[in-house]
Amino acid sequence: MIEGHVWKYGDNVDTDVILPGRYVSLTNPADLAQHCLEDLDAEFAQHVRPGDIIVAGSNFGCGSSREMAPLAIQGSGISCVIAASFAPIFYRNAINIGLPILVTQQVAAETKQGDILNVDLLTGRVENVLNRRIFQAEPFPLLLNDIIRSGGLLPYLTNNRQGLK
């Protein structure tokens, strides 16, 4: 169970604003976190607290494939990103590094900046603590669920020595 304050953003949040190109030579999540969302919301990196949740519209993480973007979010202590949809490469990257994500249009549409969400990552149940509304995120396909539960793609490969089957 996760509970955290919501940072709310719109559609098409691209990886250039999540982690600007000028910083992509950094690789350590703690260093990356200092610049997370810098070009979209200068407040974010200063005020984000561990456990906070990002809620966004459609196509979150579009643009560059840079994995420094989800790493920066992870380094910021964000516990989960919930969006109406994710850009295909960001979706892969988040699952692969073990950054929890959930896909649901409803939460994206009906959540505001500063709301508090309670999230059950195992079931995809999301509750808005302020108004007690309950939402259900889309389930993940089987293999992806296994990767998520292993904590990411490399831990998964280590646990399953015969590979991705």
Partner 1 sequence: MSMTLVEKIIADHANLAEVHAGEIVVVHPDLVLANELSGILAIETFFRHGRDHIFDPDQWVFVPDHFVPARDIRAANTARRFREFAYENGIQKYYELGRGGIEHVLLPQEGLIWPGALVMGGDSHTCTYGALGAFAIGVGSTDLAALMVSGELWLSVPETVQIVYRGTPSPWVEGKDMILYTLGQIGGDGAHGQVMEFHGALLRTLSAADRFTMCNMAVEGGAMTGIIPPDAVTQAYIVAHGNKYYDEKALSTTYGNAHKIIDIDITGLEPQVAQPFSPANSVPVSAIGDVPLDQVMIGYCTNGRLEDLRRAAHILAGRSVHPHTRLLITPGSQQVYQQASAEGLLDIFLAAGAMISPPSCGACLGGHLGVLGAGETALSTTNRNFVGRVGDVKSRVYLSNPTVAAASAVAGRIIAPQELPGLVSHPQQVIPTTELWSPLEVTA
How many Cβ atoms are within 10 Å of 159's Cβ, its own excluded? 11
Indicate if the alpha-carbon torsion angle 89, 95, 101, 105 is positive or negative: positive
Backbone angles phi, psi at 5, to 5 degrees: -80, 150
Q: Tell the smallest beta-carbon distance from residue 92 to partner 1 (Å).
A: 6
**Structural tokens at position 117:** 């969400």
Nearer to partner 1 by Cβ, of 114 and 151: the residue is 151
Tracing tokens 């649901």 back to the chain, one arrives at 104
Residues that bind partner 1 (CB under 8 A): 11-12, 14, 16-17, 20-22, 24-25, 27, 39-40, 58-59, 62-68, 70-71, 85, 87-89, 92-93, 96-97, 141-144, 147, 152-155, 157-158, 163-165
Q: Which is nearer to partner 1, 85 or 128 (CB)?
A: 85
Q: What angle do CA 66, 67, 68 make, to 5 degrees?
A: 90
Shorter beta-carbon distance to partner 1: residue 118 or 150:
150
Task: Give me the least distance between CB of 134 and partner 1, in Å please.
Answer: 27
